[in-house]
Amino acid sequence: MVPTQATIRVHGMSCDNCARTVREALEKTEGVFSADVALEEGRAIVTYDASVVPGHALLSALDAAGYKGELPDEAPPAH
């Protein structure tokens, strides 16, 4: 198993407590090894086992914690 790393843009973080909540939500997800959250940059770098947890499950964990996430390979909505 080779760990996968993803950078997720996180929307809605405004304080250190927000960053901690995001980190904890991601790290509680089965298959996630670690999450490094940068409040100022609005991102989380997540190291996980892609055979256990798909990328969209990481976004679901953020959503359940009250934050919106965006993976870099997602296309922005068309207007």
| Residue ranges per structural domain of the chain | 4-70
pLDDT, block means (10 residues), the chain with 79 residues: 91 96 98 97 96 93 96 57
Nearest to 36 by CA among 62, 27, 64: 27
Encoded tokens for 3: 């760990």
Confidence at residue 8, expressed as pLDDT on a 0 to 100 scale:
96
Confidence at residue 2, expressed as pLDDT on a 0 to 100 scale:
82
Question: For 46, phi and psi rounded to 5 degrees?
Answer: -115, 130
Confidence at residue 46, expressed as pLDDT on a 0 to 100 scale:
97
Q: Does domain 4-70 have CATH number 3.30.70.100?
A: yes
Q: Which amino acid is at 43?
A: R
Name the strand (E) or helix (H) holding 18: helix 16-27
Confidence at residue 73, expressed as pLDDT on a 0 to 100 scale:
65
